[in-house]
Chains A and B, each alone.
Chain A
Amino acid sequence: AQRVTQPEKLLSVFKGAPVELKCNYSYSGSPELFWYVQYSRQRLQLLLRHISRESIKGFTADLNKGETSFHLKKPFAQEEDSAMYYCALSRSYGQNFVFGPGTRLSVLP
């Protein structure tokens, strides 16, 4: 069965500190992993996807198939990064995502 876990419900860091949001998954096929973000009073939006290997707003994420992880990292957190972050897995045939429960990131001044 497909499953995405995000062990931290809330993560608080100070501005300028590094941040890592953890994501682990279980999937029998070849997964595609994504990070979605929801800022306060805004809709859910794509942050990045592993297949494009891009860096968005300073965030990066590397797919580690051995550890079945897709942790989101940023070297220097900014206050505007405060938001809800969801890790998601797409089954290989399409876009029916399985979402994790989410981690609320709070960046303190």
Chain B
Amino acid sequence: GAGVSQSPRYKVAKRGQDVALRCDPISGHVSLFWYQQALGQGPEFLTYFQNEAQLDKSGLPSDRFFAERPEGSVSTLKIQRTQQEDSAVYLCASSLSRGSGNTIYFGEGSWLTVV
């Protein structure tokens, strides 16, 4: 594909509502990452997949956050019972494989506002 695609681009959720954010990585990319970027901050790591396996979820802030990549391509980040502090840009990134020699490519992000 042309790049990492994320949807929705913008989401306004009422506090307590569940949301699902989708990421379409570049075709053939094995590694997929989710980052959270709060206003005025740098991106913070949430979780990492290699194919369908979630190898690292140490950055997920609470058990309300859940990510999956069941077929090793598209990934969904789900946030249950959203709270105002969840308001942020959620960035997805992918790379051909793990390893520092491989460039990771970011999507444009999903902007979540919880009101």
Contact = CB atoms under 8 A, between A and B. Distances in A.
Contact of A46 (B44, B99, B104): B104
Interface stretch (A14-22, A55-63, A65-73, A90-98): A90-98
A34 to B, nearest CB: 9
Interface residues of A, number: 22
Nearest to A4: B42
Given A43-B3, A43-B107, A43-B108, A96 B45 contact: yes
Contacts of B40: 9, 101
Given A43-B3, A43-B107, A97 B45 contact: yes
A94 B31 CA distance: 10
Contacts of B95: 95
Nearest to A100: B42
A97 B4 CA distance: 18
A100 B37 CA distance: 11
A86 B43 CA distance: 9
A96 B44 CA distance: 9
Given A96-B48, A101-B40, A43 B106 contact: yes
Interface residues of B, number: 28
B interface SS class: loop
Contacts of B43: 44, 86, 97, 99
A95 B107 contact: no
Contacts of B99: 94-95
Interface string A22-61: 0000000000100000000001111001010000000000
B100 interface: yes
Interface of B: 3-4, 31, 33, 35, 40-45, 48, 56, 59, 91, 95, 98-109
The 6 A-B residue pairs with the shortest CB-CB distance, nearest first, are A99-B42, A44-B106, A99-B43, A43-B108, A32-B100, A43-B106
